[in-house]
Chains A and B, each alone.
Chain A
Amino acid sequence: MEKELIIEKVNDFLIDEFEVEAEDIYAGANLKDTLELDSLDFVDLVVAVDSNFGVKLVGEDFVNIHTLQQFYDLIERKLA
């Protein structure tokens, strides 16, 4: 899958399902501080990624994922 499509799909579900404000969506946005995602939201991110990309994430995958860019990259790696 093209990186641009990954970014588009992630942004779409962040806005539609997670109700993140569009202006908070940028590569350097911090998932916890900027997007205000808490531990329960990360549980739902796993579901959203599975549903949108057919990829299963686990807790350990998120250890060094702090920004939206890192999240896009993680999904790209999992799809490769």
Chain B
Amino acid sequence: MRRVVITGMGIYSCLGQNKEEVKEALYQGKSGIVEDRERLDFGFRSCLTGKVPLPDLKKMLSRRQRVSMGEEAQYAYLSTLEAMQQAGVDARYFEDHVVGILFGNDSTAKSVIESIDVVRNKKDTTMVGSGAIFKAMNSTVTMNLSTIFKLKGINMTVSAACASGSHAIGLGYHLIKSGLEEMIICGGAQEINHYAVASFDGLGVFSANPDPKKASRPFDKERDGLIPSGGAASIIIESYESAINRGATILAEVVGYGFSSNGEHISTPTAEGPARAMQMALDQAGVAASEIDYVNAHATSTPIGDANEARAIVEVFGEKGPCVSSTKSMTGHECWMAGASEIVYSMLMMQNNFVAGNINLETPDEVSEKLNLVGKTLDKKIDVFLSNSFGFGGTNSALVIKKV
């Protein structure tokens, strides 16, 4: 079994459009949440959202390349470019080597709706244009990026709700570990628009806090719901041998991937399932719970979800164990992107010796107070971290990553 290392990362998020901006925002405890009042006109209960600038890729890609890309593919293109630059790989490398792509994505709502609106309006499917079908499929990100970068390895999208990005990395880890791939571009992408999350808002799970910057408050007693967000994150993983042979800088090593399914309610998480996933990740990594320096929690700022994750963390790590924070306090819930972006955030913390604070944490609830929660930026050396991602349908993913 081979070792799997990270050699490149890229990020396009509401905290910043590159790693430097994001690192700074994490350290300063900045919130990327804003209001989008058009959502209220549309019928939303909550107008809060993370927001990223819409990319302008005209100078970077041909029309043919751009026309089949919805926003999620555009974000993923930019985050992947940043990861490629760090990893020291380019188009030429992809020509000469088999490189795969595994991205998490679980919706393309806006693209589907816009194309069907055209058909409804014109009563003619030939009016949607050539890009519509490619924008409308869940696999739009991997479809587009594998074409643009001319990739020749594994090529698929992982759809697992809010654990998509994490599972994508986990599956990539196993493909490399088992020797089936040398290098894989992993990641997660998430569209940001009202079509994508209207049904989600309809469940009543979004925060209605009037202060956007205070609304996302995982583990806090006064939390009242999550805030949707998005963008994209890319992580390039490869075999240790491949990295050494080509002289790449190794950023860290993926040492454990744990997963589970709750087998219970379709939306309400349990504590048992996540605990199993975390324990599996630790067992695989050969790392004791006591060796984990930091847990990047999934915690989305929902009353039940955060509490159940707190119970699960206590079950695995005991009370007042490793430092815990949820970066969703700053970013909101990046959904399909989160599992990958939170690896980038945790990596930035590890590389820069700090734990980003779980902002807006004023009073933990009675379950969360058993955790070693970090409310404000803490200067601390991290050698090993664990990152959680859980999703609707009871899907759980946990990744353990350590310094080399």
Contact partners of A18 in chain B: CB under 8 A? 63
Within the complex, the shortest CB–CB distance from A53 to chain B, in Å, comes to 14
A47 surroundings in chain B (CB, below 8 A): 126-129
Asked if A43 and B63 sit within 8 Å, CB to CB, the answer is: no
Q: Are B63 and A50 in contact (CB under 8 A)?
A: no
Give residues in A with beta carbon < 8 Å to B.
17-19, 38, 40-41, 43-44, 46-47, 50, 56, 58
- B contact residues vs A (CB 8 Å cutoff): 62-64, 67, 122, 124, 126-131
> Which residues from A are CB-within-8-Å of B64?
38, 40-41
Rounded to whole Å, the gap between the CB of A21 and the closest CB of chain B is: 12
**Interchain residue pairs with CB less than 8 A apart (9):** A18-B63, A19-B63, A40-B64, A44-B131, A46-B126, A47-B129, A50-B122, A50-B127, A56-B124
Other than A19-B63, A50-B122, give 4 A-B pairs with Cβ distance below 8 A.
Answer: A40-B130, A41-B130, A43-B129, A44-B130
CA distance in complex: A19, B129 (Å)? 16
Asked if A43 contacts B62 (CB within 8 A), the reply is no
Give the shortest distance, in Å, between B392 (CB) and chain A (any CB). Answer: 35
Structural contact, B124 and A43, CB atoms closer than 8 A: no
Check if A44 sits within 8 Å of B67, measured CB to CB.
Answer: yes
Contact B129–A44 (Cβ < 8 Å): yes
Residue in A17, A38, A41, A44 with the greatest tally of chain B CB atoms within 10 Å:
A44
Docked pose: A41 CA to B62 CA in angstroms: 12
What are the nearest 10 A-B pairs in CB distance?
A40-B130, A43-B130, A19-B63, A44-B130, A47-B129, A44-B129, A46-B126, A47-B127, A50-B127, A18-B63
Which chain B residues lie closer than 8 Å to A46 at the CB level? 126-127
CB-defined contacts of B130 to chain A, threshold 8 Å: 40-41, 43-44
Q: Which residue of A lies closest to B127 (CB)?
A: A47
The chain A residue with its CB closest to the CB of B67 is A44
Closest to B126 in A: A46
Q: Which residues of B contact A40 (CB under 8 A)?
A: 64, 67, 130-131
Inter-chain contacts of B122 with A (CB < 8 A): 50
Q: Roughly how many angstroms separate A15 CA and B127 CA in the complex, as a whole number?
A: 20
Residue of B nearest to A57 (CB): B126
A41 to chain B, nearest CB (A): 7
User: Which B residues lie within 8 Å of A17 (CB)?
Assistant: 63
Residues of B within 8 A of A38 (CB): 64
**A residues in contact with B127, CB < 8 Å:** 46-47, 50
CA distance A57 to B165 in the complex (A): 43
In Å, the complex CA distance between A43 and B128 comes to: 9
A18–B63 Cα distance when bound, in Å, is 7
Interchain CA distance A18-B130 in the complex, whole Å = 12
Residues of A within 8 A of B129 (CB): 43-44, 47
Give the complex CA separation of A19 and B67 in angstroms: 12
